[in-house]
Amino acid sequence: MTARLDTFGNATAGRFLKHLVSANHGLAGSTLPPTTQELVKIRASQINGCGFCIDMHTKDAEAAGESSVRLHLVAGWREATVFTDAERAALELTEQGTRIADAAGGVTDEAWANAAVHYDEEQLGALVSLIALINTFNRMNVIVRQPAGNYRPGQFG
């Protein structure tokens, strides 16, 4: 399988991706826990069917020490006992923020309030930004059918 468009080699898409990567670097320096960041990226990517991002973020999380049990259970986080209450709140916000078109009301007040119990204002800002950012990456990769499976941890710095 090959991508429909070489986004890295395309001048316009390449410039856009550089800005997205830069935004991601800005979020990496936030106080939102790195583990939570990877879980959010994985869950949104699962919902959006972005194999490229699922491949990348599961491998990066594993390389950073995340357990295979937790990685395998991200899609079933509601029934899994391996996630903290804070991680569960972030995953719920991720799901609702990713599935905006599926719910007339968007993100519920309950999901927001639950996240606000576990994260301060700075972390909520990072969480919302991260959800928006990974959804952008997912959409680009799904549109161009970016192939998955060959990512190496840390490949993009």
**pLDDT > 90 in the chain, percent:** 89
Residue ranges of the alpha helices (H) in 4-154?
A: 11-28, 34-48, 51-63, 68-73, 85-98, 109-118, 121-144
* Predicted pLDDT of residue 131: 98
Put simply, whether the predicted model's pTM sits higher than 0.85 gets the answer yes
Higher pLDDT pick, 14 / 101: 14
Residue 33 has pLDDT above 80, yes or no: yes
Domains and CATH numbers, the chain: 13-144 (1.20.1290.10)
Q: What is the mean pLDDT of residues 127-153?
A: 97
